[in-house]
Amino acid sequence: MDALPSRSFTPAVGDLPFTAQQRSLLALADELGRTRFAPRAASWDESASFPFANYEDLRAAGLLALCVPRDHGGGGADYATYMMVAAEIGRHCGVTALTWNMHICSTMWTGVLADGIPMTDAQRAEHALRRELHFSRVVNQGAIYAQPFSEGSAAAAGRAPFGTTARKVEGGWRINGRKIFASLSGAANYYGVLCTEDKGDEKPDARDTLYLAVPATSEGFAISGDWNPLGMRGTVSRNLTFTDVLVSDDEQLMPRGVYYKGAQTWPAMFFTLAPTYLGIANAAYDFTVSYLRGEVPGEPPVRRRMYPTKQIAVAQMRIQLENLKSIFVRAIQEASPNPTPDQKMRLYAAQYTVMEGANDIARLAIRTCGGQSMMKHLPLERLYRDSRCGALMLPWTAELVLDRMGRETLYQPGERDD
């Protein structure tokens, strides 16, 4: 990951006192995004097909291993660095950023985040051994991991145990169940599945959540269903079924019981979908400025910028974008295990602001640029459709964030109205 010749540009997260590694990675993301990902973005959208060519580029640039620790041969990027780079990629191709997030999380949760989750010495030793296998698949084989959690129940919202189950068998686990909305379906080599340990007759308990990697070649594993959504079409998020799928103990991405603790210790792990949408918000703003300045390549001159309404709209979009960037940056800078209640509130607020704000900026962009700007040969209508998806992503949909913020403000843990 050498630094590329840099051009002058303002990163999607804004100008910050970046480290040398961050600066170099942002230049790399900018270069790949502008020259490779942006020109291809319309084709994935049109055919609702996975951006395989972009993954070749990510792999060649070492970006599939970005968050694998350095001593395992990866890029050693921390949480904040990943979030900055993801926003830059999202600026040029939302589906690449969003699916890359699913892959990166499997290395970040098992890597830098797991380091901050309490474990016994035995669990820590087991985890060190097992993650070695997963990291080496990513570093040496360029493997891609998906992150299918959603089931259409209350589980992905964190309100019920996962219905997909894993039963302990000699040397491994037997998995049964179904997942929906599995981005990277058909593209991933491994599917990092959240499931509940089936302990026989006992009542399923979310504390028994297991995080297991299912190889795409496993017997009993199948992908089904159509994929023809409004936006984020290139994510190819189809259904998965697991029928008596056997995986070995080595496929445990976290020791038993650790995922549940991790979700409580590291709430910022659920904020990693946001940078994609911050990138999209930047793209909608960038397009609007270029369009009104008559600088969109191949488009006739647009003589509209002299109208005060256009100038005010651009100013309003910029104010909103600066708000998104500010709260996003604050949240990634203070992301850590065991945040204070105030930091947690800010994290929720950042998620809400980015997910709803991105769609609002895209809406304003179309209103301001006008009818000719939403033709299919221009990116704005795709940005608008893609931006609509952010607030729907569990566990922190816009609605659920409001729900959590209100409840956690008005009730102390364990407090009830009798």
Ligand X SMILES: Cc1cc2nc3c(=O)[nH]c(=O)nc-3n(C[C@H](O)[C@H](O)[C@H](O)COP(=O)(O)OP(=O)(O)OC[C@H]3O[C@@H](n4cnc5c(N)ncnc54)[C@H](O)[C@@H]3O)c2cc1C
Contacting residues toward ligand X, per CB under 6 A: 102, 147-150, 152, 154, 156-157, 159, 181-183, 232, 235, 237, 389, 392-394, 397, 399-400, 403
383-410 burial string, b = 16+ CB within 10 Å, else e? bbbbbbbbbebbbbbbebbeebbeeeee
Is residue 395 reached through a cis peptide bond, with omega within 30 degrees of 0 on the bond before it? yes
Q: Which is nearer to ligand X, 149 or 271 (CB)?
A: 149
SS3 316: helix
Cβ 73 to ligand X shortest distance, Å: 26
Which has the closest alpha carbon to 214: 196, 241, 234? 241
> To which residue do tokens 């070995």 refer?
248
Q: Which is nearer to ligand X, 117 or 156 (CB)?
A: 156
> To which residue do tokens 């609605």 refer?
399
Cβ 316 to ligand X shortest distance, Å: 27
> Residue 64 corresponds to which tokens in the numbers above?
């599939």
Q: Which is nearer to ligand X, 81 or 387 (CB)?
A: 387
Cβ 399 to ligand X shortest distance, Å: 3
Cβ 404 to ligand X shortest distance, Å: 10
Cβ 393 to ligand X shortest distance, Å: 4
Burial of 4 from C-beta contacts in 10 A (0-12 / 13-18 / 19+): middle
Burial of 258 from C-beta contacts in 10 A (0-12 / 13-18 / 19+): buried
Q: Which is nearer to ligand X, 237 or 282 (CB)?
A: 237
Sequence-separated (6 or more) residues with CB below 8 Å from residue 115: none
Q: Which is nearer to ligand X, 173 or 396 (CB)?
A: 396
Bridge partners for 255 per DSSP = none
Q: Which is nearer to ligand X, 123 or 239 (CB)?
A: 239
CA dist 46 and 36 (Å) reads 17
Cβ 156 to ligand X shortest distance, Å: 5
